[in-house]
Structure 1
Amino acid sequence: MSPAIVLEVQTHYKEEELLESHEFHKGVQHLCERGITKVPRKYILPALDRPIFPKKDGATNFKLPIIDFAQLQGPDRIHALKSLSKACEEYGFFQLINHGIACQSILDMIEAGRKFFELSFEERSKYMSKDMRAPVRYGTSFNQNKDRVFCWRDFLKLDCHPLSDVLPYWPSSPTELRQAAVNYSKETKFLYIMVVRAILESLGLAETTKDIDENDGDHHIIKEFQDGSQLLVVNCYPSCPEPDLTLGIPPHSDYGFLTLLLQDEVKGLQIQHEGRWVTVEPIPNSFVINVGDHLEIFSNGRYRSVLHRVLVNPSKSRISIASLHSLPFGSMVRPSPKLIDDANPRRYKDTDFASFIEYIASHEHRSKNFLDSRRLT
């Protein structure tokens, strides 16, 4: 083959790759709408990173510790706090039941999220942005500007604080989305604050969070959480023709303080527990709550953020809604001084959201690499 023909073929392949890359940035939903029957190369993981599906599905099904929110508010609070502490130390995850959020609010939020991803690509793409601080952002993969292999996920991220400032930027279609997200964000924020109070108490940072003196430091901590950041992430995992070649989200930990995750009835969430990947059994009308990197730092390593990932399904699409919470964007996250002593020296550097955003903008987000960058050796 002559050099001119070789050059022409190479140029053709590069043009094809550029065209493909442009299509991938439009999202998985867009690919599926075009009727693909195979997973494109851009989504195929290296063999060692691919999920292994056991022959017997029940072999890896896993029940997380269950925390009854009603018990946390009643006379069994001390027992419930011990269970909460054990779950955060040993699993980094728990399922919260009897949380008090109305079923209708949950159903409305899931349905509104589902309808957003059923909009035309032209409508969805209005909210595409590379600005990670944008009040609304539609995108795909994990970090589509850095990921070498894309993951089988599209997302809609809604900044929720302060609501009055960000609400005008939220999508106006589908018509029910704004109101459903407003109601849901308010209810999950209240629930988060109540769980944070219990976590502070379980760490021994307050004798009783119900009777905090407004002049002491513990009240200041609660005030910071009340004024803290909240991000709603509606995840869409379309059905996948070859689910053993890719993942909805690769192994990672969450960067905030706590994440309240709402799943639909389709299984997909896996956590790493005792060296193996286990699939979390969805419990209807419950929240999966997990420790984030900021809580690991704040607790000086006593409560640990845990790696988790998402499988995709060959026949069913899946919707999940994550409400990510932490301190205000401008706050510094550091180990609580009350949890540092000679036996438990300080284990982490101070950090803030600016450091995190700068890090993930320039690195591929894998495992717990951001948190590892904050460790003191």
Structure 2
Amino acid sequence: MGETHQSVQELAASLVGALPPEFVRSEHEHPAATTFRGGPAPHAPVIDMSEPGCGARIAGAAREWGLFQVVNHGVPPPVVAELQRVGRAFFALPREEKERYAMDPASGKIEGYGTKLQRDLEGKKTWNDFFFHVVAPPEKVDHGAWPRSLAGYREANEAYCLHMQRLARELFGHLSLGLGLEEGAMAEAFGGGGTVFLQKINYYPPCPQPELTLGVAPHTDMSTLTVLVPNDVQGLQVFRNGHWYDVEYVPDALIVHIGDQIEIFSNGAYKAVLHRTTVNKEKTRMSWPVFVEPPGELAVGPHPRLVTGENPARYKAKKFKEYQHCKINKLPM
């Protein structure tokens, strides 16, 4: 078992008064000061996947925003609701039970329960706990990292993952065609049946001074795609044209992030979205992202047909595990 620690969930329950200083972000990151409030704001595209022409809209959103929402995506609402139910149930477990699944990176256990109480480069912490594990492919799944005491947890995650595998193939197909490539080009480049799906649950408890802190600091995802289910508490923001914009909650929609690997594969045509998360004073925000990743040994680089004399390669091909190591440790790419 990993080393025990105080979670943000516990801190929020015991906190009286002001936010501890290690959570107070620099002024240039305060959500109250940096969120766009200057009139009508542009909204990230909401795309109906049942409509003709949705593929072109998906490709356009990947170029212009790096983020979009999809509706009529084929994932049944009861499947999503059950995923959310078992996720809420995990965070309602007693501390001792959650700690049974704690991460322990020192021993190589990187899946499991953890917290964002570690400091960033500026010595600041973020207001977030999480739980994550691989859900596909089967040979990479460690069910020992999954909570065994929660009725329905495994079934809910496996059912949802099947839909994510199908949806990822569809999105990869639209995005490949949008680059002028064969429909299967992107799926093949990212590992085909060996593509890794990692399910995460983010937990952001109520915060006494949400205007001063962040749930997650600004970043792009290392993944190919991230497909996210939010609850109805506002929190996700995207950076665009020099401003931070709220991503509005759309019932039954899934939020799709373009990650670093698609930006690399597309030689910069599609943009990995810079995003962050704010928190709420009264309500708990939760989200359920699935990170779709290449296998660690697979090298990803710009597709050869997207590299020309006028548009030379902007990125080096690199094994995904090497890319992860460089990004996590802030090393040159």
Q: CA deviation at 1:331?
A: 0.5
1:68 maps to 2:48 = yes
Residue aligning to 1:318: 285
Higher helix proportion (structure 1 or 2): 1
Counterpart-to-counterpart distance in 2, 1:168 and 1:252: 30
Residue aligning to 2:112: 137
Paired amino acid for 2:19: V
Counterpart-to-counterpart distance in 2, 1:314 and 1:308: 20
CA contact (8 A) 2:239 2:274 kept: yes
Counterpart-to-counterpart distance in 2, 1:161 and 1:272: 31
Q: CA deviation at 1:247?
A: 0.2
Residue aligning to 2:166: 190
SS at match of 2:314: coil
Q: Which has the larger Rg?
A: 1
SS at match of 1:48: helix
Q: Give the 5 Å matches for 1:1-377.
A: 25-52=5-32, 59=39, 62-71=42-51, 76=52, 79-131=53-105, 134=109, 136-141=111-116, 148-163=123-138, 165-206=141-182, 209=183, 218=185, 221=188, 224-363=191-330, 373-374=332-333
Paired amino acid for 1:87: A
Q: What 5-or-longer segments of structure 1 have no aligned partner?
A: 1-21, 213-217, 364-369
Are the structure 2 counterparts of residues 361 and 274 from structure 1 closer, same or farther at C-alpha, using a change threshold of 3 Å?
closer
Q: Aligned residues, how many?
A: 329
Could you tell me the percent identity over the aligned residues? 30
| TM-score, reference length from structure 1 | 0.80
Q: CA deviation at 1:148?
A: 2.0
Are the structure 2 counterparts of residues 307 and 220 from structure 1 closer, same or farther at C-alpha, using a change threshold of 3 Å?
closer
Paired amino acid for 1:270: Q
Cα RMSD after superposing both structures: 2.6
Are the structure 2 counterparts of residues 194 and 226 from structure 1 closer, same or farther at C-alpha, using a change threshold of 3 Å?
farther
Q: CA deviation at 1:134?
A: 3.7
Q: CA deviation at 1:172?
A: 1.2
- Offset from partner CA, 1:152-202 (integer Å, 9 cap, x none): 000001111233642243111322222211111221121111111111111
| TM-score, reference length from structure 2 | 0.90
Counterpart-to-counterpart distance in 2, 1:351 and 1:154: 30
Are the structure 2 counterparts of residues 127 and 55 from structure 1 closer, same or farther at C-alpha, using a change threshold of 3 Å?
closer
